[in-house]
Amino acid sequence: MPDAAKVAESLNATLVDMRFVKPLDEALILEMAASHEALVTVEENAIMGGAGSGVNEVLMAHRKPVPVLNIGLPDFFIPQGTQEEMRAELGLDAAGMEAKIKAWLA
């Protein structure tokens, strides 16, 4: 969460801590979708079937056409290393997240 806070501050973005995948706070997701042009989810978990996927499902179920960038672990074997090393390698550190978001928004 500290890296996400750094990125949010740098990009002047709203940061919301989802805390857990289930149950999803659908009201909060819909509130964020209504008040923002795009959403970004970040998780230290697999993107497929994770919290970001849940956000996508809520938005689709409510027919909210809000672009969403899901940042998290890719769907392949993750090599071993320290958390810091793996975050940097997978773009889940502050620099990696910010670069992914800026590229997506460009």
Q: What is the pTM of this model?
A: 0.90
Residue type at 8 in one-letter notation: A
User: Which residues, including other chains, have CB under 8 Å from residue 45's CB and lie 6 or more apart?
Assistant: 51, 72, 73
pLDDT of 3 > 80? The answer is yes
Q: Quick check: bond before 67 cis, omega within 30?
A: no
Q: How far apart are CA 58 and CA 33, in angstroms?
A: 10
Domain range 2-105, CATH class = alpha beta
The pLDDT of residue 19: 77
Look at 39 and 50; give whichever has higher pLDDT: 39
- What does the mean pLDDT of the chain come to? 93
What are the structural domain ranges in the chain? 2-105
SS3 for 89?
helix
pLDDT of 69 > 80? The answer is yes
Please say whether the beta carbons of 94 and 6 come within 8 A.
Answer: yes
Instruction: Give the residue among 27, 31, 28, 22 at the shortest CA–CA distance from 49.
Output: 22
Band of residue 78 on the pLDDT scale cut at 50, 70, 90: confident
The pLDDT of residue 105: 96
The pLDDT of residue 14: 95
